[in-house]
């Protein structure tokens, strides 16, 4: 069996997402940035992304590969590093999520290969 046939692919992505949510200890990635609270956010970030939106995309079967899921993860991180200046807590949380989330995704990619 491969993972895809044995266990729905979206269940695999959901488990990867849960691991990313655990890494978001400051809970700054868990939901979309509220653009009413942050009126200039849309001037800098053209394609917002967050972990809740990624969960909804999993549920809507909008990811056909781990790479597409990873693209949204990278978009979420790069938005954070683009909007927040380097000395902020948010920027530092973005660096931490890039590093720790990157490890989660590297392991998930390896697991997907082993199961094929
Ligand atoms: C992830 C991120 O950049 C943010 C998460 N919450 C915010 C509130 C104001 C400005 C930026 C943010």
Kindly report, residue by residue over 4-55, the tens digit of the pLDDT: 555 689 899 999 999 999 999 999 999 999 999 999 999 999 999 999 999 9
For ligand 1, pick from 33, 76, 88 the residue to mutate: most ligand atoms within 8 Å of CB.
33
Mean confidence (pLDDT) of the chain = 94
Ligand 1 centroid distance, CA of 64 (Å): 28
Q: How far is CA 113 from the centre of its chain?
A: 20
pLDDT at residue number 6: 54
Residue 58 has pLDDT above 70, yes or no: yes
Confidence of residue 3 (pLDDT cuts 50, 70, 90): low
- Which residue has the CA at smallest separation from atom 5 of ligand 1? 28
pLDDT at residue number 49: 99
Q: What are the distances in angstroms from CA 55 to CA 13, 30, 51?
A: 9, 10, 6
Sign of CA dihedral 109, 111, 113, 115: negative
The four Cα atoms 23, 81, 69, 26 give a dihedral, to 10 degrees, of 20
Q: How open is the CA angle 102-104-105, to the nearest 5 degrees?
A: 65
pLDDT at residue number 10: 86
Whether pTM > 0.90 for this model: the answer is: yes
- Which residue has the CA at smallest separation from atom 12 of ligand 1? 33
């Amino acid at each position: 069996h491969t993972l895809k046939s044995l266990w729905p692919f979206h269940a695999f992505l959901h488990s990867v997402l849960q691991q990313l949510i655990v890494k978001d200890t400051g809970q700054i990635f868990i939901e979309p940035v509220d653009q009413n609270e942050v009126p200039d956010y849309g001037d800098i970030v053209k394609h917002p992304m967050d972990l809740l939106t990624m969960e909804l995309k999993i549920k809507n079967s909008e990811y056909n590969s781990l790479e597409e899921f990873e693209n949204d993860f990278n978009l979420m991180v790069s938005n954070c590093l683009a909007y927040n200046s380097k000395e902020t807590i948010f920027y530092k949380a973005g660096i931490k999520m890039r590093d720790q989330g990157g490890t989660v995704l590297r392991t998930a990619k390896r697991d997907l290969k082993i199961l094929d």
